């Protein structure tokens, strides 16, 4: 039995003093089984003598919740007979599981059916009319509500605590509903939209979505990162923060908004209450509930007749008019928040009246009882505050709050740069006149200016001294001119980059182009990529930076070829002598290495990673950057089998992060994840699962994307342990979630379907495995990657399945295509090519037994096995595949001593199906040697393990039963042979195509006419004589 090549891995809210800032959520959720409270208590204490029973109940109900949740995810989108078939099979003998899943399905139908909106709305209203505190103590998923934080027109927000074996975590938990009216369908749509948007975003100043589901009475909920802080304006006033400190803090908010814009996401509701500052003084942008994706059409919740959700005091004019939304809309919102942050007043008394941009310096000191207090809150006096705001800050605010979106700052990043420039005494981009820039320079260098003045005065006294001072003055003037020239170049770079990026956004706006066809995010990126080299030729460093950004974005979207093109261009630009930024070139190489590893160009990935480490070490890069690059090298070393070197690199990385970050950190979590992958690929799935769980535990605030990634690779380790159904369910769930993270045509989608196909293959479900591998290949083909190594490996996997199912014609074609595809890219010694050659030659040998003596097959297997060396603690599954092929080759050429080439015996059954295959080949060898006792014992052991882990419906024990039945007939035990054939019949008929060799052989064995039977019988008879 060949085994497929693994489709590998690629690479807080408010505290007690500020509860009012938690507003009502705008959300709805998909059902999830709630984790109910376990056990009983008396006066808050556990009932004596019942702790054990209570713990057992907790474990039982938690397991029921997990199984029901996974099963619901599998069948929620199915209908009719298909749904019922899966439910009947999975819930057989377990009425409690069926009842839980049925309850979830009913809840899902109630919350998603438009005909039930009124019923759901009335139920929510009745629920919320009661005492809000009644929810305290209830559980929603793994979270237990502690207390109410806030409520609004569309819902309530509670402080909740996660209580399970993996995490201890405080979250802000939102429940749908509120004291206002709402449409359930719209609320559901907005919730799913917010969830999808937040899944795209990972930034230190954006609060993340952590989880979501449906609780008791079909109440939707979701859990957000809990930020123990205060609204931005309150936090700054309470600490009497000065203007410059406020500017530096607000620049971080702009960075967060710009991060969202780079993913084509507009927030649309920026205001002080949506920006909280935590105990460390770091801001967090919250509430993407009404955010909009620029690359998508109008949502149902945005159409006419829907509730218009915004805050007028901070809304842009185009928002109030219902006009075109763009990133400029958020720039306006940022300007409105900044105006209030600096002046203590909102920019407009009547936000709906016609208006021009106000003057901040005047608004800050207009007559009023609170003028002195507002200035004091900023650590100054009214007169000084007006002076500080006059000039650059007035200009910045007028630009951000301009009525015309085209005249505002072109990006939130540009606004942030000007705010930092003011705080640090540098020129701003809005003013480009030479006199202004020299004036700023002289103000920044007052001592130098005073020295120049002193030189002029000294000229009247001492000629020599005056000449020296004159030279100093000239030097200062030259420096001023140089600074002005630098400022001019920076302005040019900023202008060109901004012009190019803003034009990309305008390309998606029908008001700026003739075509009415809506552009996708990919098309906008393509347009930018096509222009970057030409339009930014005068500013190569900016060009390199944008190429790196585009490459990273393409990589995140799963477009590997476009990512490679941009990353290679960025590397070249950074290494250009006029730029000379090798450390940044290394960043581009790291991403290239990840792409090449994902495409299974392993040697190229290693070479890029090694070069990146060298550049980082010799460019005075921070130690953290060097460590991150070493992690990439460790990952690249895993797949070609360089396990020892990979372990050294990854262990050093892990030790560094533990020492510098502590055990509870994102860096340590990622390190555990990578080491888990190494453990699994190198043949230690038990250790791999432990490391993956440690990765989850180390996450400071687990988010859906991080859990998604870890679950995807953990499924491989779980499958290797023989827990196939569990692995399959995890992978199916990941495929459903993947649409939130990746383009449907991306290679990452193909990876997911390949992994699912592998899990089904290992389980012995060849029909579904073939369909998923075919789908994986079609994704690569539709994405223009049909000639990649990865596509070749998928064709090889398809060929193996088709061979086993009995379709020799398709198998022959795909084996040939697989080898040709891989050979077109891979080096002769590449592991991928060795796989393709060995599997194809073995297939040809099975069609013609003389082929087993083929030197090409023998050489490929020898080189394949040699890659893994002889000193190893565990046997990787990929090496095991080669060893079993070698055992088959030896038996076919008359060599019966195969035990020396098989994996060693493992009584712990860490990889049970590997051990089952080992016993199968030992049985085959004993059969050839006519060792009756050993053959019977090994066949029984192989089938015992396979039945236990893969199940009797699996094709693997069914195929082995044909050999065992043949042996039993030859050994004079026809009744036992018939019993084995009866067990094999159903799975073989379900998995084989009509006319398959296995089916024909089964019929011959029934009639006692198998071709191999007479040969075996003769050998047995001879042994008895």
Residue 993 has pLDDT above 60, yes or no: yes
User: Which neighbouring-strand residues pair with 170?
Assistant: 161
> What DSSP assignment string belongs to 534-545?
HHTTT-HHHHHH
More confident residue, 139 or 459: 139
Lowest mean pLDDT among 294-308, 383-397, 712-726, 858-872: 294-308
More confident residue, 634 or 360: 634
Residue 762: band (very low, low, confident or very high) from pLDDT cuts 50, 70, 90? very high
d(CA 177, CA 152): 9
More confident residue, 576 or 556: 576
Q: Where does residue 43 rank: exposed (0-12), middle (13-18), buried (19+ CB within 10 A)?
A: exposed
DSSP label of 164: S
Lowest mean pLDDT among 180-189, 341-350, 687-696: 180-189
Residue 363 has pLDDT above 80, yes or no: no
> What DSSP assignment string belongs to 506-535?
HHT-GGGSS--SPPPHHHHHHHHHHHHHHH
Backbone angles phi, psi at 677, to 5 degrees: -65, -40
Tell me the CA distances in angstroms from 707 to 693, 703, 715, one per residue in order.
Answer: 10, 6, 12
Residue 67 has pLDDT above 60, yes or no: yes
* pLDDT at res. 440: 54
Residue 910 has pLDDT above 90, yes or no: no
* pLDDT at res. 84: 83
* Residue 147 and residue 95 in contact, taking contact as beta carbons nearer than 8 Å: no
* pLDDT at res. 337: 96
- Strand extents, DSSP E, 726-789: none
Helix (H) / strand (E) containing 229: strand 229-231
d(CA 204, CA 285): 10
Mean pLDDT of 320-340: 90
* pLDDT at res. 283: 95
Residue 476: band (very low, low, confident or very high) from pLDDT cuts 50, 70, 90? low
d(CA 901, CA 501): 60
Residue 927 has pLDDT above 70, yes or no: yes
* pLDDT at res. 125: 40
Distance of CA 392 to the CA centre of its chain: 41
* pLDDT at res. 526: 75
Tell me the CA distances in angstroms from 262 to 266, 327, 412, 703, 807, one per residue in order.
Answer: 10, 10, 10, 20, 49
Looking at domain 541-661, its CATH architecture is: Alpha Horseshoe (1.25)
Mean pLDDT of 490-509: 49
Residue 532 has pLDDT above 90, yes or no: no
Mean pLDDT of 942-957: 93
More confident residue, 498 or 164: 164
Residue 330, both tokens: 């958020």
The percent of residues above 70 in pLDDT, for the chain, comes to: 71
More confident residue, 650 or 595: 650
DSSP label of 3: -
Backbone angles phi, psi at 278, to 5 degrees: -85, -175
* H, E, C per residue of 587-619: HHHHHHHHHHHHCCCHHHHHHHHHHHHHHHHCC
CATH code reported for the domain at 229-427: 1.10.510.10
Q: Mean pLDDT: which of 471-475, 564-568, 927-931, 982-986 is highest?
A: 982-986
pTM of the predicted structure, to 2 decimals: 0.50
* Residue 363 and residue 338 in contact, taking contact as beta carbons nearer than 8 Å: no
* pLDDT at res. 819: 94
Q: 16-40+54-225 sits in which CATH class?
A: alpha beta
> What DSSP assignment string belongs to 818-830?
HHHHHHTTS-TT-
Residue 69: band (very low, low, confident or very high) from pLDDT cuts 50, 70, 90? low
pLDDT tens digits, 390-442? 889 999 999 999 988 888 998 898 899 999 999 988 888 887 665 555 555 44
* pLDDT at res. 393: 92
* pLDDT at res. 190: 66
Q: 896-1024 sits in which CATH class?
A: mainly alpha
d(CA 336, CA 1020): 92
- Residue 856 in 3-state DSSP? helix
Residue 959 has pLDDT above 80, yes or no: yes
Same fold, 541-661 and 896-1024: yes
Reference 479, options 453, 449, 457; nearest CA is 449
Structural domain spans, the chain: 16-40+54-225, 229-427, 541-661, 896-1024
Residue 73 has pLDDT above 70, yes or no: no
Tell me the CA distances in angstroms from 537 to 216, 573, 580, 1010, one per residue in order.
Answer: 60, 10, 16, 75
Residue 55: band (very low, low, confident or very high) from pLDDT cuts 50, 70, 90? very low
* pLDDT at res. 120: 34
- Pairing of the two strands 143-151 and 139-140: antiparallel
HSE-CB of 410 using CA atoms within 13 angstroms: 16
Cα 65–Cα 66–Cα 71 angle in degrees, nearest 5: 100
d(CA 662, CA 958): 51
Q: Mean pLDDT: which of 18-32, 356-370, 609-623 is highest?
A: 609-623
Reference 88, options 71, 112, 108; nearest CA is 71
* Residue 934 and residue 897 in contact, taking contact as beta carbons nearer than 8 Å: no
Lowest mean pLDDT among 30-34, 421-425, 450-454, 497-501: 30-34
pLDDT tens digits, 181-193? 455 556 666 655 6
More confident residue, 131 or 247: 247
* pLDDT at res. 323: 83
Helix (H) / strand (E) containing 753: helix 747-763
* pLDDT at res. 666: 87
């Amino acid at each position: 039995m060949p085994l497929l090549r693994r489709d590998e891995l690629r690479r807080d809210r408010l505290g007690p003093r500020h509860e009012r800032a938690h507003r009502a959520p705008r959300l709805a959720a998909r059902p999830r089984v709630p984790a109910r409270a376990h056990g009983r208590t008396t006066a808050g204490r556990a009932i004596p003598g019942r702790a054990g029973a209570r713990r057992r109940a907790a474990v039982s109900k938690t397991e029921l919740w997990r199984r029901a949740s996974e099963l619901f995810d599998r069948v929620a989108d199915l209908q009719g007979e298909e749904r019922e078939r899966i439910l009947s099979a999975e819930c057989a003998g377990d009425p409690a599981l069926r009842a839980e899943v049925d309850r979830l399905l009913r809840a899902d139908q109630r919350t998603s059916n438009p005909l039930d909106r009124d019923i759901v709305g009335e139920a929510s209203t009745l629920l919320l009319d009661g005492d809000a505190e009644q929810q305290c103590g209830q559980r929603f998923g793994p979270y237990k509500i502690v207390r109410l934080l806030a409520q609004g027109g569309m819902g309530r927000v509670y402080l909740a605590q996660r209580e399970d074996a993996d995490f201890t975590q405080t979250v802000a938990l939102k429940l749908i509903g509120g004291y206002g009216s709402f449409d359930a369908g719209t609320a559901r749509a907005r919730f799913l939209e917010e969830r999808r948007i937040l899944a795209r975003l990972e930034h230190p100043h954006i609060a993340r979505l952590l989880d979501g589901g449906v609780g008791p009475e079909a109440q939707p909920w979701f859990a957000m990162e809990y930020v123990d802080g205060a609204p931005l304006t309150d936090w700054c006033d309470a600490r009497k923060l000065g203007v410059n400190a406020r500017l530096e803090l607000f620049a971080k908010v702009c960075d967060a908004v710009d991060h969202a814009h780079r993913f084509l996401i507009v927030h649309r509701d920026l205001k002080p209450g949506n920006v909280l500052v935590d105990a460390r003084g770091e801001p967090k942008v919250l509430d993407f509930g009404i955010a909009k994706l620029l690359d998508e059409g109008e949502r149902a919740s945005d159409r006419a007749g829907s509730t218009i959700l915004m805050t007028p005091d901070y809304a842009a004019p185009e928002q109030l008019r219902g006009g075109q939304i763009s990133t400029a809309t958020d720039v306006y919102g940022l300007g409105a928040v900044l105006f209030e942050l600096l002046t203590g007043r909102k920019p407009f008394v009547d936000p709906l009246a016609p208006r021009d941009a106000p003057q901040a310096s005047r608004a800050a000191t207009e007559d009023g009882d609170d003028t002195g207090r507002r200035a004091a809150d900023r650590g100054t006096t009214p007169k000084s505050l007006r002076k500080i705001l006059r000039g650059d800050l007035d200009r910045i605010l007028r630009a951000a709050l301009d009525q015309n979106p085209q005249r505002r700052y072109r990006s939130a990043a540009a606004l942030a740069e000007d705010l930092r420039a003011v705080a640090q005494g540098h020129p701003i981009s809005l003013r480009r006149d030479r006199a202004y820039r020299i004036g700023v320079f002289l103000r920044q260098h007052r001592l130098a200016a005073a020295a120049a003045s002193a030189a002029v005065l000294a000229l009247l006294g001492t000629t020599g001294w005056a000449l020296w001072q004159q030279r100093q003055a000239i030097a200062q003037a030259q420096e001023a001119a140089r600074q002005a020239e630098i400022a001019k170049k920076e302005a040019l770079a900023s202008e060109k980059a901004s012009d190019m990026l803003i034009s990309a956004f305008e390309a998606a706006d029908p008001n700026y182009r003739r075509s009415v066809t809506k552009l996708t995010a990919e098309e906008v990126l393509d347009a930018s990529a096509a222009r970057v080299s030409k339009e930014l030729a005068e500013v190569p460093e900016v060009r390199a930076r944008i190429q790196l950004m585009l490459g990273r974005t393409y990589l995140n979207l799963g477009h590997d070829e476009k990512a490679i093109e941009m990353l290679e261009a960025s590397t070249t630009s950074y290494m250009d002598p006029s730029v000379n930024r090798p450390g940044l070139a290394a960043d581009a190489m790291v991403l290239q290495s990840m792409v090449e590893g994902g495409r299974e160009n392993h040697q190229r990935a290693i070479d890029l990673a090694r070069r990146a480490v060298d550049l980082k070490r010799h460019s005075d890069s921070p130690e953290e950057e060097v460590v991150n690059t070493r992690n990439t090298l460790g990952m690249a070393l895993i797949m070609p089998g360089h396990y020892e070197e990979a372990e050294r690199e990854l262990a050093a990385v892990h030790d560094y992060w533990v020492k510098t970050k502590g055990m509870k950190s994102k860096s340590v979590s990622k390190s555990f994840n990578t080491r888990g992958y190494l453990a699994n690929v190198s043949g230690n799935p038990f250790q791999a699962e432990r490391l993956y769980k440690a990765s989850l535990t180390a996450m400071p605030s687990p988010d859906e994307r991080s859990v998604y990634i870890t679950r995807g690779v953990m499924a491989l380790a779980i499958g290797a342990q023989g827990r196939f159904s569990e692995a399959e369910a995890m992978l199916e769930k990941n495929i459903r979630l993947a649409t939130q993270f990746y383009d449907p045509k991306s290679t990452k989608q193909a990876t997911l379907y390949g992994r699912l196909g592998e899990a089904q293959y290992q389980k012995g479900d060849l029909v579904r495995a073939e369909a998923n591998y075919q789908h994986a290949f079609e994704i690569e083909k539709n994405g223009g990657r049909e000639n990649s190594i990865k596509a070749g490996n998928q064709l090889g996997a398809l060929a193996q399945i088709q061979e086993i199912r009995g379709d020799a014609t398709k198998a022959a074609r795909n084996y040939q295509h697989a080898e040709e595809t891989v050979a077109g890219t891979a080096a002769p010694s590449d592991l991928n090519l060795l796989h393709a050659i060995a599997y194809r030659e073995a297939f040809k040998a099975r069609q013609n037994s003389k082929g087993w003596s083929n030197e090409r097959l023998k050489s490929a297997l020898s080189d394949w096995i040699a890659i893994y060396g002889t000193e190893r603690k565990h046997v990787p599954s990929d090496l095991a595949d080669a060893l079993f092929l070698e055992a088959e080759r030896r038996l076919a050429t008359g060599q019966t001593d195969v035990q020396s080439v098989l994996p060693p015996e493992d009584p712990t059954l860490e990889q049970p199906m590997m051990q089952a295959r080992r016993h199968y080949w030992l049985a085959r060898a004993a059969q050839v040697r006519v060792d009756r006792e050993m053959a019977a014992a090994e066949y029984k052991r192989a089938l015992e393990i396979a039945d236990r882990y893969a199940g009797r419906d699996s094709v693997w024990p069914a195929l082995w039963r044909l050999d065992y039945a043949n042996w039993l007939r030859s050994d004079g035990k026809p009744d036992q042979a018939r019993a084995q054939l009866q067990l094999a019949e159903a799975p073989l008929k379900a998995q084989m195509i009509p006319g398959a060799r296995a089916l024909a052989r089964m019929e011959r064995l029934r009639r006692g006419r198998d071709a191999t039977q007479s040969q075996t019988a003769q050998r047995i008879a001879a042994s008895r004589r």
